[in-house]
Structure 1
């Protein structure tokens, strides 16, 4: 999973990133001398200016779990998946061979590949990336979850054959493996010493390297762009990588656009203002902006692309973790009993008026969401295929709550069997107007069935720290990116996965949790994901993933909300846009030209 960034699907093999809903633009004081210099430079350099919602959290790809991130522009893997056709295409590897038993994959790397510092990129970098980084138990990278194979969750072995060939050996056949080979490759010559060196706690020094305070010139990459500059809370600037491998049919180097600028702001309204005033070349079009922008396309010299179902998910979830840390429950035991009651979660689902959410918040430009799997995926099933849905029905919600032992007082306030008022805090990231509007409606909808919801938007860093580290939260509103292959979400659905956020296991380096329990339905989903990855009969694969979708809709670890239509506005001066909801407007950034 990845950010809803127009470039994200260059590296979309991950489901590692919690989604920020839209791009935004920064407004920077005109008196800022750095801004004046940047504008002067821009007059000489062909560039694309867009925006992101908050600052990057790290420049260390292996440790990244958040969005936005720089990696869709700066790194590539052995293969790539074409977002228009779904087919696997060569990237750093020019070819590959698969043994008849499907246990050995041999990749041949392109001749003459180089890193952004001019050093050669060889099979040694591939072996290092997998064995020393991704498969290293001392490095908490979510990439492991996508490569764990079978019930025993074994990892492939990786060995060098020669400078251009690498062999992966699997313990058993694993259908998604070839797609997983799109995982980005990292530079051994720049990072190996940091992996081998240990700090005072015996951990790899690598864990503290390539943070956002690292000088951009030290970040060595293999993608279309390298990091040129980062001004905290203002902008991230990328420059064309002169050693990038792609060339057009005439042998001219790609990409064509020399520089990319991401402006940073924490308010979505400013992106619209900046785009309309000409300060941005592209902006994500949310439902509230669509009508305004649509009538201005010709006058504003831009085009709105898309208007097709988005690939990500939007949902609320409850913290189902029954564990304790340092002797203290992660969740108040009283509330934990509510959250872990399936009728409680089903009642919440029935009480949320999705159609009103579509009509008001999304201006009719959305559809009810009922599945964790992307609509475009061949493994997605619709409600017509025996998938449970939760149409708005507050009376049904009240019946379920009473069945589970809850009751109402004279003020229509919901109480549990012991007389405790049902009240909890719902978190989301601040500055995202869509999320804030959704949260406000959920607060109102649940009040109808007697629940008091304290809706609390938080700064992104504070929010993600609670979700991934301290785990001291009750309910949350957020989303995940999607893709064609459901196994990309293995780290969400495996009970031990790094994004199994509704019942999170502590990750490497975190304090232990005592008393964490995995529910039978929760374990069953993880088991089905393993079976689907082992199966090569497509009809059987679809049925296995169909079972996972039916279980998620029955037990509701995530209560899915609305799938908004994906749209992006782009200035007419860009040629070569091939929009896809999976990849956005700039998934093929290396082919796009500035023509005006």
Structure 2
């Protein structure tokens, strides 16, 4: 206790007051509202996330949560509210008459977070040296490869503020790909050139072990500190370009504190106790409770449309081997690769019950990987195949495929093997665990025995991306935006998110004997054709065909999506909640007032 022995003539009352004050200070360090006391000094926003960031290297990230929406910007952005393209780090762009060249002009005076100038050299470096680099395995390459030959665009510097992109053929989604982050050449160029164990040093650069203050970025915020399993602290980037109409620096909020929480139950408990300023998404089962507390808790509930993602069950269709051992038990692999087996599972799931019981009626059925907000979405009423709950039909389909039922209603294959498999999901997402519990019940009605495995998200990612040691998973993917090409990495046969029949990454052990089916190849060709076609009507026809094949083959068995909902403290001013969610999409305009 500071000063306790300074003056022995203090009265006991003063001493006890000092003791009480010191104890209060110590206890406040453990209190969820501790950071709010700091907000009196600087405008501060507190958010929560389940889990930790996996990397601080933008190019190597393929998961949520991540820090990059705060740290980086690209040339062009798709406005979350309107869907229109707008310049960000770019001042303007111009497309050539033949639709093969785009000249982008940068805003004048752009700077990196360390004060260095941001120029056309950084743009060329980001694309040519990182995103186009065959030695850097990034999912980003999947959405940049063009045409049947899967060629990448080229880029050249015109002057310090202008670059020219050239595509080998007209490429409809290209402008939307210019939202990719610009990376700092002066900070990263040497890591691309230098090799460690035959790989670019870039691959081990800017991990979560790196001092956060070394990360150079161009977005609204910079990393200030990171404490695993506790918090990430961002502070405002003093060199960020945005200013308001009164020439005042944006964003207005100086600090953001991302608090890591164990799961969604903890997140809800902390929010109700006055903790974070924002919870998004809200689980349907929490909506009614929060609605009752909205006024007393001084927060507002926002409700948008269906979440712009798709939630699914997928079976491991990879028939390859690693070191002579099959990735998937051959008995199970035979089931999983039978389209009738997958269709039967789709018919056996009571998704209306799932919506009522787990989503409290606030969910919507998902039928496609193209989000419902997209003009390319094919709705069921216009011909998209769907799977309504029909366990009897599921049983008939299985029997037509050679499966049989025992006297005690257990399903066995033609060789008498009982149908048993495991569905894995991330343990921190309580709702997904509950979804598998219901799926287990539904599939038991058609004689299948399902085990549930709930594990850490990073372990799950490693299983899917590297070890490939899994039967089935329940996960969710982002739809890739309004343009279907944003999801091409899920459907191209060599795509890094082609989850159900994954090709091993460059750093993973090779797989022998991987089989790519004819329907996978057909979907890939449709995606290539859809990106080449500039006529919107013809593009819709192409993606309609893709959606029909995907629903016939059901590599993804689509489930239920919640409506996107958020709870935001009333102290946060300027929220304009979009149909597709993302309460902080206009973060630069938001203010906090106590």
Bin of the TM-score, shorter chain as denominator length? over 0.9
Residue from 89, 94, 118 that aligns with 2:91:
94
Contact kept, 8 Å, 2:565 with 2:581, in 1: the verdict is no
Residue from 258, 267, 273 that aligns with 1:271:
267
Shift of 1:31: 7.3
CA distance in 2, matches of 1:119, 1:582: 36
Other-structure match for 2:431: 434
Residue 384 (str. 1) matches residue 381 (str. 2): yes
CA distance in 2, matches of 1:582, 1:485: 14
Shift of 1:431: 2.1
Other-structure match for 1:212: 208
Output one character per residue of 1:496-527: Cα deviation in whole Å (capped at 9) or x when no partner. Answer: 00100100001122211111011111111111
Residue 525 (str. 1) matches residue 505 (str. 2): no
Q: How does 1:512-551 map onto structure 2 within 5 Å?
A: 512-551=510-549
Shift of 1:183: 0.6
Shift of 1:582: 3.1
CA distance in 1, matches of 2:354, 2:533: 39
Residue 409 (str. 1) matches residue 401 (str. 2): no
TM-score (norm 1): 0.93
CA distance in 1, matches of 2:108, 2:411: 67
RMSD: 1.4
CA distance in 2, matches of 1:357, 1:58: 34
Moved more, 456-465 or 186-195: 456-465
TM-score (norm 2): 0.94
Other-structure match for 1:11: none
Other-structure match for 2:118: 121
Shift of 1:120: 0.4
Shift of 1:125: 0.3
Contact kept, 8 Å, 2:32 with 2:275, in 1: the verdict is no
Shift of 1:85: 1.3
Output one character per residue of 1:100-148: Cα deviation in whole Å (capped at 9) or x when no partner. Answer: 0011111001110000000000000000000110000000011111111
Other-structure match for 2:507: 509
Residue 300 (str. 1) matches residue 297 (str. 2): yes
Other-structure match for 1:10: none
Secondary structure of 2:296's aligned partner: helix
Contact kept, 8 Å, 1:311 with 1:581, in 2: the verdict is no
Contact kept, 8 Å, 1:323 with 1:517, in 2: the verdict is yes
How many pairs does the alignment contain?
567
Q: After TM superposition, which residue ranges in structure 1, 4 or more long, deviate above 4 angstroms? A: 29-40
Contact kept, 8 Å, 1:387 with 1:550, in 2: the verdict is yes
Secondary structure of 1:95's aligned partner: strand
- Which structure 2 segments of 5+ residues have no match? 1-25
Other-structure match for 1:65: 62
Residue 579 (str. 1) matches residue 548 (str. 2): no
Output one character per residue of 1:463-487: Cα deviation in whole Å (capped at 9) or x when no partner. Answer: 1110111001010000011221110
Contact kept, 8 Å, 1:30 with 1:36, in 2: the verdict is no
Higher RCO (CA < 8 A, seq sep 6+): 1
CA distance in 1, matches of 2:157, 2:501: 39
Q: How does 1:144-543 map onto structure 2 within 5 Å?
A: 144-199=141-196, 201-284=197-280, 285-482=282-479, 483-543=481-541
Output one character per residue of 1:12-48: Cα deviation in whole Å (capped at 9) or x when no partner. Answer: xxxxxxxxxxxxxxxxx95757989856534312111
- Which structure 1 segments of 5+ residues have no match? 1-28
Output one character per residue of 1:181-202: Cα deviation in whole Å (capped at 9) or x when no partner. Answer: 1111000000000110011x21
Larger radius of gyration: 2
CA distance in 1, matches of 2:214, 2:518: 47
CA distance in 2, matches of 1:594, 1:242: 19
Q: 1:471 to 1:554 in 2, by over 3 A?
A: same
